[in-house]
Amino acid sequence: MTTAAATAGERTAKAKPATMAQALGRALRDSMADDPSVHVLGEDVGTLGGVFRITDGLAKEFGDERCTDTPLAEAGILGAAVGMAMYGLRPVVEMQFDAFAYPAFEQLISHVAKMRNRTGGAMPLPITVRVPYGGGIGGVEHHSDSSEAYYMATPGLHVVTPATVGDAYGLLRASIASDDPVVFLEPKRLYWSKADWSPQEPAAVEPIGRAVVRRPGRSATLITYGPSLPVCMEAAEGAVEEGWDLEVVDLRSLVPFDDETVAASVRRTGRAVVVHESTGFGGPGGEIAARITERCFHHLEAPVLRVAGFDIPYPPPMQERHHLPGVDRVLDAVARLQWEASN
């Protein structure tokens, strides 16, 4: 096992810079190596290594009892994980694609999220539910949903989503180590994004629940997460030409929500735009905008704006570029922040 692990490590090391997919795989591997109670289960996670190859090599290294190909049934996968967690294991389940997780909703909402609460703290469930989410990869129907609002609306779940390679590793390790259930949303269009991240010296495990300022700025704050972070970073660079110095906040964790970092940023800049792929109506942006308004009203120079996906079912792949918030749409929103009134 040691030799196999070393070889796998060397292979990964040569493939520098690393991808988010590799960082996630490494986080699973390291978690399983550190803690024998960590079990991976899902459809295709074993022999195939997952349709996105995130679990590649785990069954070989840890055996198919630790990395298990299950029958094709999401409620069954998550329901079995509940029982495994009740007996002291730490299951990590893969939902393969965002919309494929819907059959497991009842298990997630009625049991995974509530077991600690309904047993008065006697039976916490340390389950990590990995859900590849979002669009931009040309997936056909049911392969591109952004379902974070459903998860956010359920007390008892942590909801996290990395936007960088380093965070993918750190947040997944923290999620697996958490005694609470975590819905771990993987922005699948960033799976192949690269960073100078060393699988040999993985970044420190980030605590769940802290947002981070990715780019400091003074004119306005872009608040975003997951797949929209690179869009916002690019928009911020583009905005320099217009004379706007945009701050970019990467939430990383939607639940718990880091009001402190967000409010501090908006108080500094006085303007905020929330950017995400998920639909605007009833989406995460509405909650975030409301929280900002409640905390920063007297600091605001303009209404908090949202740049979100349209309020439509996720479109067919040949049309998705019109739906996904891109750099221009973000900059348009920034332009609408009533600059004339205050500058």
Partner 1 sequence: MTVQELPGAAAYRPTPPPAWKPLTDPAPLLPDPEPYRVLGTDAVAEADPELLRRLYAELVRGRRYNTQATALTKQGRLAVYPSSTGQEACEIAAALVLEERDWLFPSYRDTLAAVARGLDPVEALTLLRGDRHTGYDPREHRIAPLCTPLATQLPHAVGLAHAARLKGDDVVALAMVGDGGTSEGDFHEALNFAAVWRAPVVFLVQNNGFAISVPLAKQTAAPSLAHKAVGYGMPGRLVDGNDAAAMHQVLSEAVERARAGGGPTLVEAVTYRMDAHTNADDATRYRGDSEVETWRAHDPVRLLERELTGRGLLDDDGIEEERVAAERMAAGLRERMNADPVLDPMDLFTHVYAEQTAQLREQADRLRGELDAEHDQHGTDDGGAAR
Q: Rule CB under 8 A: which residues touch partner 1?
A: 39, 65, 70-71, 73, 75-76, 78-89, 91, 103, 106-107, 110-111, 114-124, 155-156, 158, 178-180, 209, 255-257, 259-260
143 part of the active site: yes
Considering the complex, what minimum distance in angstroms separates the CB of residue 123 from partner 1?
5
Phi, psi for 118 (deg, rounded to 5): -75, -15
Q: Judged by CB, which is closer to partner 1: 65, or 340?
A: 65
User: Which of 53/295 has CB closer to partner 1?
Assistant: 295
Minimal distance, residue 261 CB to partner 1, in Å:
11
Smallest distance from partner 1 to CB 231, Å? 27
Query: In this structure, are residues 232 and 249 in contact, taking their beta carbons and an 8 Å threshold?
Result: no
Rounded Cα–Cα distance for residues 252 and 250 (Å): 6
Distance CA 57, CA 136 (A): 27
248 forms beta bridges with: 215, 222
Compute the least distance from the CB of residue 14 to partner 1, in Å.
Answer: 35
Question: Can you tell me the distance from the alpha carbon of 20 to that of 166, in angstroms, rounded to the nearest whole number?
Answer: 8
DSSP 104-133: GHHIIIIIITTHHHHTTTS-----EEEEEE
CB of 114 to partner 1, least distance (A): 8
Closer CB to partner 1, residue 209 or residue 286? 209
Looking at beta carbons only, is 109 or 302 nearer to partner 1?
Answer: 109
Q: Considering the candidates 39, 111, 142, 143, report the single residue annotated as catalytic.
A: 143
Shortest Cβ 140–partner 1 spacing (Å): 24
Q: For partner 1, which is the closer residue by CB, 263 or 308?
A: 263
Helix then strand count (H, E) for the chain reads 14, 14
Are β-strands 272-279 and 305-309 bridged in parallel, bridged antiparallel, or unpaired? Answer: parallel
Judged by beta carbon, residue 114 or residue 194, the one nearer partner 1 is 114
324: which 2 tokens?
């996904």
The 3-state secondary structure of 214-259 reads EECCCCEEEEECHHHHHHHHHHHHHHHHHCCCEEEEECCEEECCCH
Question: Is 152:159 a contact under the CB 8 Å cutoff?
Answer: yes
Question: Euclidean distance between the first and final Cα of the chain, in Å?
Answer: 64
Active site residues: 143
